[in-house]
Structure 1
Amino acid sequence: MAKKKKEKVNVVYSTNPDFSFEYEEEDTLETLAPEKQVLYVSIDRKQRGGKEVTLVEGFVGTEEDLKDLGKLLKSRCGVGGSAKDGEIIVQGSFKDKVAELLEKEGYRVKKKGGN
């Protein structure tokens, strides 16, 4: 994989020989412990062509940890999906199973919606 280049901020050209570039600081978000997080599990059909997906919202942590949790849920349910922007999408209606799996991992879970 390619390394990320650091973004130089607000410098076009400098004649100062002692000048050093300012770099943007990356917002490193630490992942909270599972018992400190509340995840919301719901069934969603909006903008999906009528197909149902199980939506997990409320994750606080790094994108890598989110993808790992998404991978665990998708493999245990035996379906596809995605994990990005703080939410996990599992294809199909697996609200109860996903909630049960998250509780076994130590997360506090709340179910949204009446389905």
Structure 2
Amino acid sequence: MEYVALTGISHDVVTDLKNHGLRTIEIRSPHNFFTTLNLKVGVNIFLTSTSAQDLTAGTKGIIVKLMQHQVSTHRIINGTDNFYEEREMTMIRIQLQSRCMARVRKVLSNQIGQVTRVDAEEMSFYDAR
């Protein structure tokens, strides 16, 4: 089945999702930001701690369901008497619910600035090892 993929996610986050089922994370990396920007609540996502560059057939991860999606912008202002700097950072907060383990069959799209897509198969627990 075809899924959008979030890559390079912390191993601790992936493990926490496996063990507890529900987790909210912030997306700041450009490749994952483009992937999640236009997602709708209820869609299934392939999530892995493997980096985008190393994503290949056989990569293991988990399938999660998108429960909440929120885009927000933070403004940071730093300054002294001689220096003033203002920065903005846009991020996406998503709440995910764990569904099952999965393995990539084929990488369909993995270019910078585009949505990362994979064809992945759900795995039985005994296959996941």
Pairwise TM-score range, normalised by the shorter structure: under 0.3
Structure with the larger RCO, 1 or 2 (CA within 8 Å, 6+ apart) = 2
**Which one has the bigger strand percentage?**
2
Return the index of the structure with the highest Cα Rg.
Answer: 1
TM-score for the superposition, normalised by structure 2? 0.24
TM-score for the superposition, normalised by structure 1? 0.26
